[in-house]
């Protein structure tokens, strides 16, 4: 393929032609040309995470939950603390941030040249893929900025859109829904057939359900603040979320695909997230496969030592007891073993427990088991800050950590478990939830781990997270919190529920009880031949430096977050959306700044 470079003007944020523009004289002749073009979209990091930076087990990459109430890094989230500032340029809205959209629209402007030589049936799969990727692109921008300009064709230097107002957010989502309606009709269904690595009808349905739920709940819970939609259409989007997720569930019930994996297996939930290949999975609808020498994963290089992450006490406390009732605020959590005792099995399959059953490296000689959190890692990627070290997603089937360029841990973008949660939440928000809806959604997830079923007659819990929501919605949110833990959804959930005031403001995230590791000796747990014994001196030094709150829980931010006593200072009238950079507002004042940033 011949590539042509164009000079950019400075008239706006989307005025450049695609940097990879193809010479039309030699291209747009065959359906294989379309396939080759669309293949490039699969490798764009702003569309589908590649893990050329930090990776994760969820769809939005490593930092997706940074600043949430369930998982923290060593440094606190400046956004959650109200420290975000208005950039001069870039910050997600600069010229380079719209290149993927230009590439997608360039394809959609030119595929008809091939259609004229063949037929629409011959090209529709690739058109569907392009529409899928345009939907991902706009959803990413919507979550960040709200109202957006909508470009359905390649933008040139004289295009009116460069100096137009942003469209209201729900008009943008209407356009996304139309794109995905068309993509769903154009894309082939996998229906349990062979994995091809390409987007399928089920993938587009899963994305549509995710976006419709996001917008429906955003408009419902932001209806009375500065982030409200110009015209509230929450019911319409919630109905769409319920319909498309319900259609996927019906496909599962009638055809067997998609469906949940590992139902009833003792470690089935754990093993859903630590695979190199999901080609035979019925639950993982779309994922990225890695190959040494081509594209490799980074997650399995660091997961065995915490990967610079730690779950919080808030997350650990959210798991129900094995009988389906919540834990009391003063339950015995003095040790990791006590925390996981008589609890929802997903807890012990999400965080590491020193019970002699949780592997670090199965193929070591002898096998290495988790004995203590990696407080002593050599850097902040090789350690755990909270004591609740992530086990979910850790592939322990090696002798030690993968070296650079060798990681093959697959990256999940969409799984059927999320779809089940979308269906239950949408039906509940519409006040249409019946027991049969729970039985075909959330109770399927509970069956996998042998937990009691959820019923529509939920008993109130005085420790529910939200002050004024119906109990059944509270339980559905709890189920989402634990089922999707550490997969990158929690921060988005807090934003769409307008819940930062209850879950973030004034809160100080803490980890496990520190006392359980004071005086801890690796020699008490390991044969002398185990290499972990060399950790002892560093471990002791790090333990002595850790800070705690008044109740003895690890407080990783005690010396950094507002004096360690005030909690996060998220601005509820401003920080739900990012600001537009000043240069773009100068170029086009009609864009207008987001609420609270003027």
Write out pLDDT tens, residues 241-290: 999 999 999 999 999 999 999 999 999 999 999 999 999 999 999 999 99
* Angle formed by the axes of helices 120-145 and 169-186, nearest 10°: 150
Residue closest to 499 by CA, chosen among 471, 464, 458: 464
Joined tokens for residue 87: 């950039």
The pTM of the full predicted model, rounded to 2 decimals, is 0.94
Residue 323 DSSP SS3: coil
What are the Cα distances from residue 158, in Å, to 16, 100, 155, 172?
A: 11, 20, 8, 22
CA torsion sign for 258, 264, 269, 273 is: negative
**Contacts with 147 (C-beta within 8 Å, 6 or more apart), sequence order:** 166, 167, 168, 169, 172
Q: State how far the Cα of 136 lies from the Cα of 483, in Å rounded to an integer.
A: 23
**For residue 9, what pLDDT is reported?**
37
What are the Cα distances from residue 13, in Å, to 3, 10, 34, 47, 172?
A: 22, 8, 27, 18, 18
Q: Tell me the domain boundaries of the chain.
A: 1-42+97-165
**For residue 22, what pLDDT is reported?**
64
**For residue 462, what pLDDT is reported?**
87
Joined tokens for residue 281: 């999975």
Q: What is the block-wise mean pLDDT of the chain (598 residues), using blocks of 10 residues?
A: 31 46 80 96 91 57 70 92 96 93 97 96 98 98 97 91 95 98 98 96 98 98 97 98 98 98 96 97 96 89 89 97 96 98 98 95 92 87 93 94 90 97 98 98 98 94 91 97 95 97 96 96 76 82 94 95 92 98 95 96
Residues across the chain: 598
**For residue 60, what pLDDT is reported?**
62
Nearest-5° angle of CA 342, CA 348, CA 349? 140
Joined tokens for residue 29: 């002749």
């Amino acid at each position: 393929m011949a590539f042509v470079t164009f000079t950019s003007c400075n008239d706006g944020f989307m005025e450049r032609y695609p940097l990879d523009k193809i010479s039309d004289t030699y291209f747009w002749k065959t359906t294989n040309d379309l396939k080759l073009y669309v293949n490039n979209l699969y490798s764009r990091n702003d569309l589908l995470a590649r893990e050329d930076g930090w990776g994760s087990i969820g769809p939005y990459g490593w930092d997706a939950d940074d600043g949430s109430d369930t998982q923290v890094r060593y440094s606190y989230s400046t956004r959650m603390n109200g420290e975000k500032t208005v950039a001069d340029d870039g910050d997600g809205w600069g010229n380079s941030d719209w290149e993927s959209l230009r590439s997608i629209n360039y394809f959609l402007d030119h595929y008809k040249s091939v259609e004229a030589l063949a037929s629409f049936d011959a090209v529709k799969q690739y058109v569907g893929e392009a529409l899928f990727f345009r939907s991902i692109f706009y959803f990413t921008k919507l979550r960040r900025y709200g109202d957006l300009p909508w470009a359905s064709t390649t933008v040139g230097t004289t295009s009116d859109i460069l100096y137009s107002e942003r469209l209201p957010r729900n008009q943008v989502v209407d356009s996304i829904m139309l794109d995905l309606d068309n993509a769903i009709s154009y894309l082939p269904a996998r229906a349990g057939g062979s994995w091809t690595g390409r987007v399928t009808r089920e993938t587009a349905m899963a994305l549509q359900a995710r976006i419709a739920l996001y917008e429906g709940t955003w408009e419902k819970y932001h209806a009375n603040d500065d982030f409200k939609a110009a015209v509230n259409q929450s019911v319409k989007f919630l109905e769409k979320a319920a319909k498309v997720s319900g259609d996927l569930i019906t496909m599962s019930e009638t055809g067997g695909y998609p469906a949940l994996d590992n139902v009833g297996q003792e470690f089935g939930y754990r093993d859903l997230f630590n695979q190199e290949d999901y080609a035979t999975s019925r639950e993982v609808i779309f994922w990225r496969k890695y190959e040494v020498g081509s594209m490799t994963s980074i997650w399995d290089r660091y997961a065995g030592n915490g990967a610079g992450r730690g779950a919080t006490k808030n997350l650990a406390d959210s798991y129900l007891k094995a009988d389906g009732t919540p834990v009391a605020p003063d339950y015995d959590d003095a040790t990791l073993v006590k925390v996981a005792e008589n609890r929802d099995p997903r807890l012990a399959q999400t965080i590491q427990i020193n019970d002699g059953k949780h592997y670090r490296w199965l193929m070591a000689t002898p096998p290495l088991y988790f004995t203590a959190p990696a407080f002593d890692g050599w850097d902040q990627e090789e350690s755990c800050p909270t004591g609740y070290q992530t086990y979910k997603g850790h592939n322990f089937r090696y002798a030690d950590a993968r070296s650079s360029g060798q990681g093959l841990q697959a990256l999940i973008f969409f799984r059927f478990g999320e779809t089940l949660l979308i269906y239950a939440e949408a039906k509940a928000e519409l006040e249409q939830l019946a027991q049969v809806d729970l039985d075909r959604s959330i109770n399927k997830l509970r069956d996998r781990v042998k937990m009691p079923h959820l019923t529509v007659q939920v008993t109130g819990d005085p420790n529910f997270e939200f002050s004024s929501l119906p109990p059944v919605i509270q339980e559905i949110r709890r189920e989402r919190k634990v089922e999707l833990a550490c997969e990158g959804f929690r921060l988005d959930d807090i934003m769409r529920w307008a819940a930062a005031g209850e879950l973030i403001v004034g809160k100080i995230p803490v980890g496990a009880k520190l006392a359980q590791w004071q005086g801890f000796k690796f020699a008490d747990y390991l044969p002398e031949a185990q290499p972990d014994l060399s950790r002892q001196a560093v471990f002791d030094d790090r333990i002595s430096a850790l800070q705690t709150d008044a109740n003895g829980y690890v407080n990783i931010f005690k010396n950094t977050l507002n004096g360690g006593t005030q909690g996060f200072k998220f601005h509820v009238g401003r920080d739900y959306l990012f600001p537009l950079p000043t240069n773009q507002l100068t170029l086009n004042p009609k864009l207008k700044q987001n609420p609270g940033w003027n």
